[in-house]
Amino acid sequence: MAEQLTEVFTSIFNGVIYGTPKAQPRPRAFARNGKARMYDPGTAESWKSDIAGQTAVLHNMQLDGALKVYLYFFMQRPKAHYKADGTTLKPSAPIDYTKKPDCDNLAKAVLDACTALGVWKDDSQVVILEIIKSWSSTTRSGCVLTILTITRQ
């Protein structure tokens, strides 16, 4: 019979990153003089800069081993969701944020930024990833980032 393992999660970081969450763009290709070239459109660079500026404590941590990451993205509601007073939601305002960007592409931008900042050696170390995308309950947008190490005993 297999031995039962216990998982121990240790919180490394739990914080809010304010800014406008952007999805990681797909690499683009073009041909010039008969040769194919690849480039990154760079549309997520301002969001990655927000991440870098608000997670200084994590830079160059070089976490090792298996990691669990929670990402809770909160997106600012447009004015059309509110009544004339500007604070009361209309009954027709959607509850869930079902528009683009997609959860997986939002997560990829954060994970890539953390890799570039040296938080971990590679984002392949993230073995559990939980993503939530929601409308913000305030006038701000951003992401709650939680990073935990996993120890199996």
Q: How many CA atoms lie within 13 A of 1 on its CB side?
A: 2
Q: Print the SS3 string covering 73-99.
A: EEECCCHHHECCCCCCECCCCCCECCC
Residue 110: other Cβ atoms inside 10 A? 25
Length of the chain (residues): 153
Using CA of residue 119, residue 67, residue 22, residue 87, what is the dihedral sign?
Answer: negative
Q: Which residues pair with 120 in a beta bridge?
A: 63
pLDDT tens per residue across all 153 residues of the chain: 667 889 999 999 999 999 999 998 766 676 778 877 766 666 789 999 999 999 999 999 999 999 999 999 999 999 999 999 999 999 999 999 999 999 999 999 999 999 999 999 999 999 999 999 999 998 899 999 999 999 998
Q: Which pTM does this prediction carry?
A: 0.86
Q: Report which residue type is found at 9.
A: F
What contacts 99, CB < 8 A, 6 or more positions away?
A: none
Element (H, E) at 2: none
Q: Which residues pair with 9 in a beta bridge?
A: 150
What contacts 111, CB < 8 A, 6 or more positions away?
A: 69, 123, 126
Q: Report which residue type is found at 84.
A: A
Architecture field, domain 7-152: 2-Layer Sandwich (3.30)
Coil vs helix vs strand at 9: strand
